[in-house]
């Protein structure tokens, strides 16, 4: 769509009936579970995520904007909403072999 890429997805990191969340000790969770690093450990009640990302080129660089909505499969004390997150990234090549980027988390 005019150089804009749109992705929509769903992810579930389950739990053992709310006793222990899915564990990925060697994973790069910052990349997959939000840039605020709030979910570096999967909550005991599980972590479900619906996400939307937009990416494309602008201002001579690349832009990336993910939105993530988190909730739980096994509600803790009746609460299943775990929050949401909006992030922005802009990266641009400055000269051969050197580029810069700016990353912003908008909660």
| pLDDT digit string, tens, across residues 52-78 | 999 999 889 999 999 999 998 777 667
Tell me, what's the pLDDT at 77? Answer: 64
Contacts of 10 (CB under 8 A, 6+ apart): 48, 49, 50, 51
Residues of the chain with pLDDT under 70: 1, 18, 76-77
CA distance 87 to 13: 21
Rounded Cα distance between 28 and 74, Å, is 24
Contact predicate 44/73, CB 8 Å: no
What is the residue extent of each domain of the chain? Answer: 5-106
Asked if 55 and 22 count as a contact pair (C-beta separation under 8 A), the reply is no
pTM for this prediction: 0.81
| Sequence-distant (≥ 6) Cβ neighbours of residue 18 within 8 angstroms | 44, 45, 46, 74, 76
Output the pLDDT for position 65: 94
Token readout for 91 is 């990266």
Output the pLDDT for position 1: 62
Q: Which two tokens stand for residue 14?
A: 């389950």
With residue 31 as reference, give the H or E element that holds it: helix 29-32
């Amino acid at each position: 769509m005019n150089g804009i890429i749109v992705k929509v997805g769903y992810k579930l990191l389950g739990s053992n009936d709310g006793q222990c969340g899915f564990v990925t000790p060697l994973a790069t969770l910052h990349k997959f579970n939000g840039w605020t690093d709030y979910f570096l450990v999967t909550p005991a009640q599980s972590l479900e995520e619906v996400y939307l990302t937009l990416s494309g080129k602008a201002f001579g660089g690349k832009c990336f904007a993910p939105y993530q909505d988190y909730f739980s499969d096994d509600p803790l004390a009746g609460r299943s909403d775990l929050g949401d997150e909006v992030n922005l990234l802009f990266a641009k090549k400055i000269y051969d072999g050197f580029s810069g980027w700016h990353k912003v988390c908008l909660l």
